[in-house]
Amino acid sequence: MTTTLLIAYLRSSNDRAGVKEHLAAAAEKSKAARAEFDRAAYVKVVDLASGAQQELVQAYLLAQPSPAHEGRAIWNHSGTGAYDGDWDRTAKELAAAGFNMILPNMLWGGRAHYASDVLPRSDTFEKFGDQITQCLAAAKKYGLEVHVWKVNFNLSGAPPEFIRKIHQERRNQVSVDGQSHDWLCPSHPENFALELASMLEVARKYPIDGLHFDYIRYPDRDKCYCDGCRNRFESETNQQVKNWPVDCYSGDLRERYAQWRCDQITRLVKAVHDEAKPIRLGLKISAAVFSSYPSCRESVAQDWPEWIKAGYLDFVCPVDYTQSDLDFIGLVRNQQKLIEGRIPIYPGIGQFRLSPDRTVGQIHQARELGADGFTIFDLDRGSAASAVPAIGAGAGKQKAEPPHRASSF
């Protein structure tokens, strides 16, 4: 961040006077710091230099432009907003900071924060009530879109009896070395039906704007190698596996099995797209996806560019969490090439790893690269008091409409 850059921003700033005031204050404090340095008053130097930096930060935040058409989304991992039991306060603060979309995590592989008839109802639901209902009421009041986020396949936080049932029915994932894991096996027909039913239930019961996939993948390359996967792979490919699981993990069938794993994930994305859209007119389907491609095809069986080419997604949020602006730029550039303008991209920015001004800096980089918006991780009390108002100071100062473009496929 430099004074020269800030001065250049003044031409398009929505608050030129405020920016100039902070720049002037920074210059005064810098001058005073130099004077104290000459007097060897080093404690005062540090205080004044820190004050000058904060003035520059405020100038930088205020000087950011605020486009009229942009997706400004934020993930909320808790599913309860920034303040447990107070969605109204959360929505009000997000709207004031210029956000227009919230992606709240309302369901997992084995729990739901709402009145589900498909998944076990969570402790959060029992304590705070139906979180989708509360979120929607507040979001509508303050003009925010709600795209309900599901963590797919992962059984974290599910009731122990539910997890035991999954294991007893051999519906959980098994690693290449035979170890059981608390994830639903994507190829198991009952798991596929459960994942689909849970997402369709949300679309039927609630007037949401969209459904958002997350963990729409395997946990890593070492899974799943359960007996059911072997049987289904052999049946669907007409290929007998002589040495299971080695042939599929590292032998002659490795590439074919890798594609088969991708197919198990893609079929759920397709099914939700095909069946949820007719339920609710205008419903948008989106996904949080791995930042690096094509490596994620083999590592976690997530072939997200193919979902876009097939028309299954309306926008995408690559998880680009990095403290390096150069790495962030490289990731977004590659993602833009993969998407080829078919749908909007809202790069995921990991504010939990960044200072508020660097979070805004990556928003600036995304805009410079032609992204259609951004997605911030994560909304909690801390970010509500830091990153959210920092974005609202300039980058989100003017209201914006999300530039969703429905797929033509």
Q: How many CA atoms lie within 13 A of 377 on its CB side?
A: 17
Q: What's the mean pLDDT when you consider all of the chain?
A: 94
Q: Which tokens hold the place of 52?
A: 């000058």
Answer whether CATH 3.20.20.80 is correct for domain 71-222+268-393: yes
- Give CA–CA dist 288/323, Å, rounded: 19
Q: Are 247 and 241 in contact (CB under 8 A)?
A: yes
Does residue 231 surpass a pLDDT of 50? yes
Q: Per residue in 150-161, pLDDT tens? A: 999 999 999 999
The torsion defined by the Cα of 57, 59, 60 and 65, in degrees rounded to 10, comes to 150
Domain coordinates in residue numbering, the chain = 1-63, 71-222+268-393
pLDDT (0 to 100) of residue 407 = 43
Q: Per residue in 7-45, pLDDT tens? A: 555 555 455 668 989 999 889 989 998 998 999 998 998
| E-assigned strand segments in 49-144 | 71-76, 101-107
Least confident of 46-60, 191-205, 262-276: 46-60
pLDDT (0 to 100) of residue 33 = 87
pLDDT (0 to 100) of residue 203 = 98
Strand 145-151 versus strand 210-214 pairing type: parallel
pLDDT (0 to 100) of residue 266 = 98
Q: Are 318 and 289 in contact (CB under 8 A)?
A: yes
pLDDT class for 2, splitting at 50, 70, 90? very low
> What φ, ψ does residue 106 adopt, rounded to 5°?
-105, -15
Q: Are 401 and 66 in contact (CB under 8 A)?
A: no
Residues 6+ apart with CB under 8 A from 49: 29, 30, 33
Strand 348-350 versus strand 373-377 pairing type: parallel
Q: Which tokens hold the place of 264?
A: 């198990």
Q: Which long-range contacts (CB under 8 A, 24 or more apart) does 125-130 make?
A: 128/80, 128/84, 128/85
DSSP state of 69: B
Full 3-state SS string of 339-406: HCCCCCECCEEEHHHCCHHHHHHHHHHHHHCCCCEEEEECCCHHHHHCHHHHHHHCCCCCCCECCCCC
Look at residues 96, 23, 94 and name the one whose alpha carbon lies nearest to residue 53. 23
- Give CA–CA dist 331/52, Å, rounded: 33
Q: Are 340 and 367 in contact (CB under 8 A)?
A: no
Look at residues 392, 393, 394, 339 and name the one whose alpha carbon lies nearest to residue 100. 392
Q: Per residue in 324-352, pLDDT tens? A: 999 999 999 999 999 999 999 999 999 99
Q: Is 3 exposed, middle or buried (0-12, 13-18, 19+ CB in 10 A)?
A: middle
- Give CA–CA dist 287/203, Å, rounded: 16
pLDDT (0 to 100) of residue 7 = 58
pLDDT (0 to 100) of residue 164 = 98
Q: Using CA of residue 324, residue 327, residue 333, residue 338, what is the dihedral sign?
A: negative
Q: Per residue in 283-332, pLDDT tens? A: 999 999 999 999 999 999 999 999 999 999 999 999 999 999 999 999 99
Residues 6+ apart with CB under 8 A from 388: 74, 93, 94, 97, 99, 376, 379
Q: Per residue in 91-115, pLDDT tens? A: 999 999 999 999 999 999 999 999 9
